[in-house]
A and B are shown apart, each in its own frame.
Chain A
Amino acid sequence: MRVRDGFMLREIAGSWIVVPIGERVVEFNGLICLSESGAFLWKSLESGVENEEGLVKALTMEYDVDEETAVSDTREFLATIIKSGLVETEYEMGTA
């Protein structure tokens, strides 16, 4: 999976906000607030991590967190951004 074009992650006053830009506002007119670890996972997706397994690995390497918690946090993050249409899944990318 990968982050769709047309979204920008910004840190404002200590909060992490995903903002749609340009044409993306047609389908997503709003803002998404991410936790610090959510922002880290977002940046991991932007830098090329493609799946849940990779994200969990990145999270456990970055933070002092056990694998069970990392899986839970990653799934919660993915559920939020998939539901909001912020990422393209493998199926949508035509590689499944």
Chain B
Amino acid sequence: MKWGQLSALLGMKSMKQHIPLIGEFELTGRCNLGCKMCYMSHKIDDSKVLYKEPSAKEWIELAREARDMGMLFILLTGGEVFARSDFREIYTEISMMGLTTTIYSNGTLITPQIASWLGSRPPSQIEITLYGASQESYEKICGNGDGFHRALRGIDLLLDQGVNLQIRTTVVKDNIHEFEKMKEIAGIRGIKLGVVNYVSPRRDHLGKNYDEMRLSPKELVDLEEIHSAAQAHQVNLSEPLSEDSLNIHKELLEIGFQEDDPFPCSCGKNTFWVTWDGRMVPCSIMNKPEAYPFEEGFLSAWESLIRQCSQIPKCKECSACDLKEYCMTCPARLMNETGSYEVPASYLCQCAKERKEREGKNYENLHKTNN
């Protein structure tokens, strides 16, 4: 069975049985960078945040409980995970639990020593986020110009150790002019650049003017077109989908995404996120619903989360909208954009409208070319 088929099969079965297959652990809320579009991070020396973070022992025990309930995939993220002085202790224990581990990092705190020990027992994958392709952009976006060179150094140290590494970027107004340069940085290292194009308002609703920093709907759809065109060239078209995998995908759609389900993803079905202050939420950008795994135990918290997710209302206006197939709406985004699960978000509506118009223009252009 190929990886994609196995992954889809496990995804399908776990969603049907509400097995917590995918766990995402936000080990710290602190970060050495201060990216202005970040949905939650705090200063690296914020003692109030540090005080609230669960201990290494508590994270390890929680991972063990989740593993015993069926967790196979674990994401270790922050904040910046390497800002935790005890990260090595947490990681080492988790690496022995029979989990497939991914780490998210900004790469700037990677030293030769860290790269060496990580290379000796590597995660399945580490994803480093680039915030630009120059010191100037890092200064402007992250408040730390030196971060650019440190991130590149971290990437190269890890690659030298043979760690499976991916590079991605969050594209905002202040770095979109360097998108091609970031692709080059990844490309010369033999890596594809992953892209996060949607920037969510903070999950804690602390005010920021996101429209000043995130892409306009037109810019966002421009980027999607450029990126998807590049990705299309990398698809192996010589390998047709097997009948098995087609059936799996069909069943996934039937089981995971039923008509009354507000979530177009695995939230509340087989995925959970644990915040730096110890709350279980459906995903990285949701502040509610919440459960308390460190107080009530993993199983009780997981059951509570599933129950609460099933009670989240679906936005009626979005469901009836002609643009819904072009829209990236979901409960998390609606709540962060509008403060309600049931109110359409203007930014998402504009993006969807832009996609539909663009599709129409592309079709017209194609029609003209063919004639």
Contact = CB atoms under 8 A, between A and B. Distances in A.
Q: Is the interface of A mostly helix, strand, loop or mixed?
A: mixed
A29 B124 contact: yes
A25 interface: yes
Interface in B255-297: none
A19 B67 CA distance: 12
Given A10-B72, A13-B10, A19-B100, A33 B1 contact: yes
A15 interface: yes
Interface in B1-28: 1, 3, 6, 9-10, 13-14, 17, 19, 21
Interface in A17-35: 17, 19, 21-23, 25-26, 29-31, 33
B120 interface: yes
A30 B3 contact: yes
Given A12-B10, A29-B164, A22 B95 contact: yes
A31 B97 contact: no
A26 B9 contact: no
Contacts of A14: 13
B9 A15 contact: yes
Contacts of A10: 72, 98
B72 A12 contact: yes
Interface residues of A, number: 17
A69 to B, nearest CB: 21
Contacts of A25: 95, 121-124
A33 B9 CA distance: 11
Contacts of A8: 97-98
B96 A21 contact: yes
A15 B231 CA distance: 32
Given A23-B120, A26-B162, A13 B17 contact: yes
B70 interface: yes
Contacts of B14: 12-13
B99 interface: yes
Nearest to B6: A33
A8 B68 CA distance: 13
Contacts of B13: 13-15
Interface in A66-85: none
A20 to B, nearest CB: 9
A26 B72 contact: no
A26 B122 CA distance: 6
Contact of B122 (A29, A31, A33): A29
Contacts of A21: 95-98
B21 A12 contact: yes
Contacts of A31: 3, 6, 100
Contact of B19 (A13, A26, A29, A30): A13
Nearest to B7: A31
A30 B3 CA distance: 8
Contacts of B6: 15, 17, 31, 33
A31 to B, nearest CB: 7
B100 A26 contact: no
Nearest to B123: A25
Contacts of B121: 22-23, 25-26
A8 B120 CA distance: 18
Contacts of A23: 120-121
Contacts of B162: 26
Given A13-B14, A31-B3, A19 B70 contact: no
23 contacts: A8-B98, A10-B98, A12-B21, A12-B70, A13-B13, A13-B17, A13-B21, A15-B6, A15-B10, A15-B13, A17-B10, A17-B72, A19-B72, A19-B100, A21-B97, A22-B121, A25-B122, A25-B123, A25-B124, A26-B119, A26-B122, A29-B122, A31-B6
Interface of B: 1, 3, 6, 9-10, 13-14, 17, 19, 21, 70, 72, 95-100, 119-124, 162, 164
Smallest CB-CB A-B distances: 9 pairs: A8-B98, A13-B13, A19-B98, A13-B14, A23-B121, A22-B121, A33-B1, A21-B96, A33-B6
